[in-house]
Structure 1
Amino acid sequence: MILDAHGHVGTWPDFLIPHPAAEHLVAAMDRIGVTATGISHLLAVGPDAVRGNAMALEIAERFPGRFGVWQVFNPHHRTPLAREGVRGVWGVKLHPDVHQCRLDDPLYEPVWRSGLPVLAHGQTDSPWSDPAQFVTVAARHPHVPLLMGHTGLWPYGFGRAARLVADHPNVFLETCGSKMTGRWIARLAALAGAERVLFGSDACFLDLRTGYGRVALAPLDDADRALIQGGNLARLLGRALPDISDVTDLPGSPEKGNPA
C-alpha cells in the first residue's frame, strides 16, 4: 500500500500548476500504484476555506477510496470542521505561513480540541511555522497526531527538525518538497526512526512521480520503506481509511508488474 500524505488539487496564483484537476492526479496515482492521497483544495488554503473544503469532500466522494481530505482551518475565520468519522476526512490542514498565524497561537485551539490528525506546513526559520513551534504544540497536545509538512522545507533544517521532535512521538516528519532527496529520507529514518517518517509528494504543486521516486530509491531496507510509503500513515489514520481495502487492481500497482 502506497499512501501519499500530502497532496493538493486546484490552482495557485503565483505557481504554475499544469494539471490541477483531480482526474490528472488519479491518472498519475494509477500509473505509479499510489492507493490514496490526502488532499487539501488550494481554494481552501487561500481565500475560501469553507468552499474549498466542500470541493475537496466532493472530490473524495467522486473517487471512493482514492482521496482523503485534510480540511483547511483558517484561524482568522474559525473555519467549521467536520468531526472524526465523516466519510473522506483524514484530518485538518494548517498553513501558518499563508495565514500568517504562528502554529502555537491560541487561535488554533479548536483544531487541537478536535482530536483529528493535523498536517501543518513547516518551514525552518519561518516566524509562523519553524519546527520549534511543532515541539511547543506537541508538548501541549501529546495525543494529537501532528505531521510536519516538508520537515522544515530547507535542507539545512532537516536534521534539526528530526532532532527537535525526537522526544515527541506524536510528531511525524513528512517528506515532500523539491529539496528533499532519497538520502535525506534515509537520514530522517535513522535520526527519528522509520516509524516517524511519512511519504508525501505535494502534488499537484510538484510531480508525484518525482516525489515517490525519492522514497522508492532511497537507501532503506524493505521494512522501513514499507513503513514510510504507507504503513505509518495507515496506522496513524486507522478508522479514517475505511475505503482503502476496496481499491484493488490499480493499473500501476505492484501486482500489475510495476517495480515500485
Structure 2
Amino acid sequence: MILDAHGHLGPWPDFLIPDQSAGGMVTLMDLLGIEAIGISHLLAVGPDAEEGNRRAFDAAERHPGRFGVWQVYNPHQRNRLTGTGVWGVKLHPDVHECRLDDRRYDPVWELGLPVLAHGQTGSPWSDPEQFVTVARRHPDVPLLLGHAGLWPHGFARAADLVGGHPNVYLEICGSKMTGRWIARLAGLIGADRVVYGSDACFLDLRIGFGRVALAPLDDADRALIQGGNLARLLKRAL
C-alpha cells in the first residue's frame, strides 16, 4: 500500500499550479500506484477554513477511498472540527502566523487525531523546537513534522530534536528534499519514523514519488516510508 501523507487541492496566489483538480490528481495516482493521498484544500489553509474543508470533503466523496481529509484548523477563525471521517488535522502556523505551541491550538490536540503541521527550520511559527514542546505536552497525539523542517540545513537538526519523542514523525515532501536525504533521515531517526508526502498539487506528484522510489533504501525501509508508517497511524481512518 502506497499512501501519500501530504497533498492539496485548489489554487494558491503565489504558485503556478497547472492542474488543481481532484480528477487530475487521481489520474497521476493511478499512473504511480498510489492508493490514497491526504488532502487539505488550499482555500482552507488560506482565507476560509470552513468552505475549504467542505470542498475537501466533497472531493473525498466524489473519489471514494482515494482521498483522506486533513481538516484545516485556523486558530483565528476557530472553525469547527470533526473527530470522524478524517485522517486528522492540518495546521499551517506560518500562513496563520500563530506558533505551533500556542494554546490557541488546544482544540486540535484535544481531539487526539493525527496532526500534519507545516514545519520550517528557523521560522518563528513552526521551527522543529516547537514540535518538541507540543510532543511533550501531548505524547499521545501523532504529530507529522511537515517537510522535515523544509530547509536542507535543518533536516538533521529536526531528526535530532524529535528523535526522543516517538509520537513525532518526519514527513518528507518539499522541493529541497532528495533521495539521499530521505535515506539519511531514515538512518538518523529510523525508517519507522519517516513518512512519504509529495505536496501535490503544489509540487508535481511524480517528482515526490520518484524521490522515495529511487532513494538508496532497502525494500523493507522503503515500504515503511511509502505507506506502512502512515497506515499504522491511520489504522482507524483507513
What TM-score results when the alignment is normalised by the length of structure 1?
Answer: 0.91
Give distance in 2, aligned partners of 1:229 and 1:57. Answer: 24
Partner of 2:137: 140
Give distance in 1, aligned partners of 2:217 and 2:65. Answer: 28
Kindly report structure 1 stretches of 4+ aligned residues shifted beyond 3 Å: none
- Write out aligned runs for 1:87-102 (5 A): 89-102=86-99
What's the offset of the Cα at 1:164?
0.2
SS in 2 for 1:238: coil
Task: Give the length in aligned residue pairs.
Answer: 238
Partner of 1:16: 16
- Write out aligned runs for 1:1-260 (5 A): 1-83=1-83, 85-86=84-85, 89-241=86-238
SS in 2 for 1:218: coil
Partner of 1:258: none
Question: AA paired with 1:66?
Answer: R
SS in 1 for 2:141: coil
Question: AA paired with 2:94?
Answer: D
Question: AA paired with 1:184?
Answer: W
SS in 2 for 1:107: helix
What's the offset of the Cα at 1:56?
0.2
The one-character-per-residue Cα deviations of 1:4-46 (angstroms, maximum 9, x if unpaired) are 0000000001110000010110001000000000000000000
SS in 1 for 2:87: strand
The one-character-per-residue Cα deviations of 1:47-74 (angstroms, maximum 9, x if unpaired) are 0000000110011011010000000000
Partner of 1:256: none
SS in 2 for 1:93: strand
Question: AA paired with 1:134?
Answer: F
Instruction: Show structure 2 runs of 5+ residues with no match.
Output: none
Q: Which has the higher contact order (CA 8 A, sep 6+)?
A: 1
What's the offset of the Cα at 1:182?
0.3
SS in 1 for 2:77: coil
